[in-house]
């Protein structure tokens, strides 16, 4: 029992060491990210320094006062010195932190190596003692029965597999540490290549945009010219006025013919247009408390009621789009002809 407890204690100790190893691996990755951000800040500082130096040279070329130029140069040099001191302090602090974490990491791996050797020795001693103490009964999978348990052997093998994985991890970390400088250089080169590719793609997109603009510019101007020559701006108010008059006439006739069904009058709800958003039609709601509006004198006195009812029935029949367009064009032509005839009549009256 004491040997089993010692083995369990050793397994717990190995597990704790592995947890610490994972922790320090995460710390190393975070430190690498911080180093990368500091390098980027250093690059931005260098770019700002180059811009300040360029501005200083431009100030010298503009021929400003010598005292102003000297004071500007001194202030820029002081600012640059401050930034360089901050960068140096950040680098030293990060290097010290990296050294401390690397030492802790090395200590953990040394402890793991010691534990591995000790566990192997204990396993061999335990196996020899078990073979001497009892008559051994061989298991089909190669395990031994008796005081030596199969689950403990499997746990031991899993622990050894984990430790075998940890050793190449240490080797990989050492290789990574040795090749960090080359890796940074390769990273910078890859970033520069990506930047060049992006600049090239942007230039291609700009060239395509300019060619498209040159191609579609004459088409847009021709469409605008055609729109103005056809007089669409003058025709739209007339068409809107005529459509409003037709809707108003239709509602008046519905109110006159069916005064009891004024709650919900639907205009075009039974139709099925191609646009699904227009399938509900135009709903006209009326107040039941108000009296229906009266017809105009022209509608009330325009012949006998039979003819009026026949006209109303004809107007309630659904009309196709082509027929509506023909009617609208006819009314528009009549209005335009009336507008042209009115000035000639006025001229004749003046001559008389």
DSSP state letters, 229-278? HHTHHHHHHHHHHHHHHHHHHHHHHHHHH-TT--SEEEESTT---SSGGG
* Three-state DSSP state, 352: coil
Tens digit of each residue's pLDDT (9 = 90 or more) over 225-272: 877 777 666 777 777 788 888 888 888 888 777 776 655 454 544 444
CA distance 133 to 229: 113
Q: Across residues 36-65, what is the average pLDDT?
A: 77
Range picked from 57-61, 101-105, 146-150, 308-312 for highest mean pLDDT: 101-105
CA distance 251 to 266: 10
Look at residue 293 in the predicted model and tell me its pLDDT.
43
Range picked from 46-55, 135-144, 198-207, 290-299 for highest mean pLDDT: 198-207
Tens digit of each residue's pLDDT (9 = 90 or more) over 76-99: 888 888 888 888 888 888 888 878
Residues 37 and 82 sit within 8 Å (Cβ to Cβ): no
Local confidence band at 300 (pLDDT 50, 70, 90 cut-offs)? very low
Q: Across residues 165-178, what is the average pLDDT?
A: 72
**Strand partners of residue 138:** 144
CA-based end-to-end distance of the chain? 138
Look at residue 65 in the predicted model and tell me its pLDDT.
62
Q: Does the structure show a pLDDT above 60 at 24? A: yes
Look at residue 233 in the predicted model and tell me its pLDDT.
63
Give the contacts of 249 (CB within 8 A, at least 6 positions apart).
315
Residues 286 and 265 sit within 8 Å (Cβ to Cβ): yes
Complete DSSP assignment for 273-294: -SSGGGTT-EEEE--TTSPPPP
CA distance 271 to 267: 9
Look at residue 198 in the predicted model and tell me its pLDDT.
92
Among 253, 242, 246, 352, residue whose Cα is nearest residue 302: 253
Look at residue 244 in the predicted model and tell me its pLDDT.
84
Q: Across residues 145-155, what is the average pLDDT?
A: 60
Look at residue 342 in the predicted model and tell me its pLDDT.
59
Q: Across residues 295-304, what is the average pLDDT?
A: 41
Local confidence band at 275 (pLDDT 50, 70, 90 cut-offs)? very low
Other Cβ atoms within 10 Å of 21 Cβ, number: 19
Phi, psi dihedral angles at 187 (to 5 degrees): -65, -40
Range picked from 46-55, 267-276, 307-316 for highest mean pLDDT: 46-55
112: burial class by Cβ within 10 Å (0-12, 13-18, 19+)?
buried
* Mean pLDDT rounded to a whole number for the chain: 71
């Amino acid at each position: 029992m004491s040997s089993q407890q010692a083995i369990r204690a050793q397994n717990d100790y190995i597990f704790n060491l592995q947890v610490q190893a994972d922790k320090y691996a995460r710390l190393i990755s975070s430190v690498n990210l911080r180093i990368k951000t500091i390098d980027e800040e250093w690059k931005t500082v260098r770019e700002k320094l180059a811009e300040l130096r360029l501005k200083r040279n431009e100030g010298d070329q503009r021929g400003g006062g010598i005292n102003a130029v000297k004071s500007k140069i001194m202030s820029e040099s002081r600012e640059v010195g401050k930034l360089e001191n901050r960068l140096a302090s950040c680098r030293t602090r990060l290097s010290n932190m990296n050294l401390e974490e690397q030492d802790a990491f090395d200590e953990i791996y040394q402890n793991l190596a010691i534990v591995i050797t000790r566990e192997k020795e204990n396993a061999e001693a335990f196996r020899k003692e078990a073979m001497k103490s009892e008559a051994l009964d061989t298991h089909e999978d190669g395990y031994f029965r008796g005081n030596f348990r199969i689950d403990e052997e499997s746990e031991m093998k899993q622990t050894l597999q984990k430790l075998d994985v940890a050793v190449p991890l240490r080797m990989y970390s050492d290789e990574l540490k040795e090749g960090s400088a080359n890796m940074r250089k390769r990273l910078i080169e890859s970033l520069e290549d990506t930047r060049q590719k992006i600049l090239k793609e942007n230039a291609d997109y700009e060239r395509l945009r300019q060619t498209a603009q040159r191609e579609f510019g004459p088409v847009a101007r021709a469409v605008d010219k055609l729109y103005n020559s056809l007089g669409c701006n003058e025709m739209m108010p007339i068409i809107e006025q005529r459509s409003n008059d037709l809707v108003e006439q239709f509602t008046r006739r519905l109110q006159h013919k069916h005064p009891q069904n004024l709650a919900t009058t639907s205009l075009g709800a039974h139709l099925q247009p191609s646009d699904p958003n227009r399938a509900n039609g135009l709903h006209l709601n009326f107040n039941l408390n108000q009296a229906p509006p009266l017809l105009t004198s022209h509608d009330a006195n325009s012949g006998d009621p039979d003819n009026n009812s026949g006209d109303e029935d004809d107007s309630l029949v659904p009309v196709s789009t082509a027929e509506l367009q023909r009617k609208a064009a006819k009314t528009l032509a009549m209005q335009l002809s009336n507008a042209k005839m009115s000035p000639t009549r006025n001229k004749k009256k003046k001559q008389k």
